[in-house]
């Protein structure tokens, strides 16, 4: 997994199968950076996620709560149809926007 | 159910085994000529059931999780069992967004996902004895 920081935006790029086992690693690595206090926007890049279950929803939800508390935002891009369906099923689509690509995700304030 | 093949695997309740369970069930089901979509549905449901067994089944103790899978030409049945603490109120546990582990960021979507991706879901549990989840999916071979 790679995390890129661009200004006040952080892009989390999980790779492979996003399950409960992997979720704890993502959470730890992401929160270590968020808690430094400079990030205002968390972007999930799902381009290389081949599988996701509801643990992925938990990870997004957790980061959303964290960012909401500091008036920041969370969004995503690169999600395949299955991931989009899962996000919709959980009601998370009311809280986060899924953009078609990284550029769009970075553009929106 | 009259089945034509069956498999059973058992592993410790370590989260690293979630991937093992998915791959094992997916490979077994691939013996039938299923669509990529159907296999993905099954993998997701298995992942949810096995994660529940690992996260909630034994609290901080270790124990085994068993996954059984049988099929015939109409249906696949998957059973995921733990022998841990059991669920007191199954109706409450199955309610969307209910979670007993909010600190661990469990979304409470596990049973909802299983219900959505499979055609049948049954949860049997007894406190102190463990929990069994039975899921079925219709297939056209």
Is B52 marked active-site? yes
**Nearest CB to A59; choose among B15, B48, B105:** B105
Q: Residue B110 is nearest to which of A27, A51, A54, comparing CB atoms?
A: A54
* Minimal Cβ distance to A21: which of B16, B40, B44: B16
Q: Are A74 and A58 in contact (CB under 8 A)?
A: no
The answer, yes or no, to whether residue B102 has pLDDT greater than 80, is no
Backbone angles phi, psi at B40, to 5 degrees: -65, -40
Contacts within 8 Å (CB) and 24+ apart, A60-64? A60/A87, A60/A92, A60/A96, A61/A90, A61/A92, A61/B105, A61/B107, A62/A27, A62/B105, A63/A12, A63/A30, A63/A31, A63/A34, A64/A92, A64/A95, A64/A96
pLDDT at B140 over 90: no
Domain span at residue B118 reads 5-138
Model confidence at B11, in pLDDT bands (50, 70, 90)? very high
Q: Which of B72, B75, B94, B106 is catalytic?
A: B106
User: Can you give the C-alpha Rg of chain B in angstroms?
Assistant: 14
Does the structure show a pLDDT above 90 at B141?
no
Per-residue pLDDT, averaged over B43-61, amounts to 94
CATH of residue B100's domain is 3.30.565.10
Chain A residues with CB inside 8 Å of B116's CB? 89
CB contact under 8 A, B51 and A82: no
pLDDT over threshold 90, residue A78? yes
Interchain pair B16, A61: CB under 8 A: no
CA distance A53 to A32: 24
| B90 Cβ neighbours under 8 A, 6+ residues apart | B123, B125
Report pLDDT for B49.
Answer: 98
Please state, rounded to an integer, the average pLDDT across all residues of chain B.
93
Q: How many CA atoms lie within 13 A of B127 on its CB side?
A: 3
Q: The domain that contains A20 carries what CATH number?
A: 3.30.750.24
Closest-CA residue in chain B for A81?
Answer: B37
Q: Nearest residue on chain B to A56, judged by CA atoms?
A: B107
Number of domains in chain B: 1
Q: What angle do CA A16, A20, A21 make, to 5 degrees?
A: 70
Q: How many distinct structural domains can be found in chain A?
A: 1
Structural domain containing residue A26? 2-107
Cα separation, B132 vs B137, in Å, equals: 17
Residue of B nearest to A21 (CA): B15
DSSP letter string over A50-106?
Answer: EEE-HHHHHHHHHHHHHHHHTT-EEEEE---HHHHHHHHHTTGGGT-EEESSHHHHH
pLDDT band at B112 (very low <50, low <70, confident <90, very high): very high
3-class state of residue B52 by DSSP? helix
């Amino acid at each position: 997994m790679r995390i890129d920081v661009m200004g006040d935006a952080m892009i989390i790029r999980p790779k492979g199968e996003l399950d409960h086992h992997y979720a704890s690693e993502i959470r730890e690595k992401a929160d270590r950076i968020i808690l430094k206090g400079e990030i205002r926007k968390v972007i999930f890049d799902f381009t290389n996620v081949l599988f996701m279950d509801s643990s992925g929803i938990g990870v997004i939800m957790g980061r959303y709560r964290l960012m909401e508390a500091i008036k920041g935002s969370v969004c995503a891009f690169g999600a395949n149809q299955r991931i989009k369906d899962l996000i919709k099923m959980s009601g998370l689509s009311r809280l986060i926007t899924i953009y078609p690509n990284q550029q769009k995700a970075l553009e929106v304030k | 159910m009259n089945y034509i093949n069956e498999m059973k695997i058992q592993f410790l309740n370590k989260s690293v085994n979630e991937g093992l369970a998915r791959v094992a069930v997916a490979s077994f089901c691939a013996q039938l000529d299923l669509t990529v979509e159907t296999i993905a549905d099954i993998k997701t449901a298995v992942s949810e059931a096995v994660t529940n067994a690992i996260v909630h089944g034994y609290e901080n103790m270790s124990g085994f999780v068993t996954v059984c899978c049988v099929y015939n030409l109409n249906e696949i049945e998957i059973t995921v069992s733990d022998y841990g603490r059991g669920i007191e109120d199954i109706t409450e546990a199955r309610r969307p967004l209910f979670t007993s582990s909010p600190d661990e960021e469990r979304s409470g979507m596990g049973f909802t996902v299983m219900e959505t991706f499979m055609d049948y879901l049954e949860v049997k549990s007894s406190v102190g004895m463990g929990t069994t989840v039975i899921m079925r999916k219709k297939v056209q071979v």
